[in-house]
Amino acid sequence: MTVQRIAILGAESSGKSTLSEALARHYGTIWVPEYLREFVDTHARVPYEEDQFGIARTQRAREDAAALQANRFLFCDTTPLMTALYSRVYWGRVDAQLAALDARHDYALTLVTAPDTPWEPDGLQRESEEVRQRVHQMLLDTLAARGIAYVLLEGGLPHRMRQVEALLGPA
């Protein structure tokens, strides 16, 4: 059976990780955590521009490895698309290697978590509510410009779970 990769995208502190983990548990499969968190914890700093491609490449490599173990669905907590978007936010550009990796947005379904939950600071990874809203709008604009269909998930976790189950079917 082919595993369907589900991209879960969204701005900071919008519930991507919580949703990814809950969906994996619900559907009896695995999820791919956001590598950026591990990078920040390991290096005790936020990424530099030259780190971005390596972060995205590691994220995608972990997806590829997890796809071999997943059952029916693989929930991907972020994708190279978000890494490229944050490169535009912080440095105003995306290097060629990252752009090429970002162009491979080949997911069966793209879900976007709305920034409608309370913003919470999270150490080095969190900016502000203003940045969260700006990134969310940039994400929606990017998806529209690239013709990538997506479903916007709103509300608390139980509501988001029901929205996804309506799309994917029962567990």
Q: What's the pLDDT at 133?
A: 92
Nearby residues of 37 by Cβ (< 8 Å), 6 or more positions away: 17, 125
Rounded Cα gap, residues 153 and 106, in angstroms: 20
Asked if residue 125 has pLDDT above 70, the reply is no
Which candidate, 8, 135, 26, places its Cα nearest to that of 63?
8
Give the number of C-alpha atoms closer than 13 A to the C-alpha of residue 111, restricted to the C-beta side: 27
* Alpha-carbon 37 to chain mean position: 12
Q: Is the pLDDT of residue 126 over 60?
A: no
- The single-letter DSSP state of residue 128 is -
Q: CB neighbours (10 Å) of residue 163?
A: 17
Domain count within the chain:
1
The kind and range of the H/E element at 22 are helix 16-27
Confidence label for 121 from pLDDT (cuts 50, 70 and 90):
low
- 131: pLDDT confidence band, cut at 50, 70 and 90? confident
**Tokens 């700093």 -> residue:** 45
- pLDDT tens per residue across span 26-57: 999 999 999 998 999 999 998 999 999 999 99
Sign of torsion, CA 62 48 131 86?
Answer: negative
148-159 residue pLDDT tens: 999 999 999 999
Query: How confident is the model over 91-106, as a mean pLDDT?
Result: 95
- Can you read off the two tokens belonging to residue 150? 């997506």
Tokens of 135: 């990134």
User: In DSSP terms, which residues pair with 151 in a beta bridge?
Assistant: 111
Asked if the model's pLDDT at residue 110 lies above 70, the reply is yes
Residue 19, burial from CB neighbour count under 10 angstroms (0-12, 13-18, 19+): buried
**pLDDT at residue 123 in the model:** 59
Q: What percent of the chain has pLDDT over 90?
A: 84
**Domain at 110, CATH number:** 3.40.50.300
Categorize the per-residue pLDDT at 130 as very low, low, confident or very high, splitting at 50, 70 and 90.
confident
Do 109 and 4 contact (CB within 8 A), yes or no?
yes
78: containing domain? 4-168
What pLDDT sits at residue 145? Answer: 97
Mean pLDDT of 77-106: 95
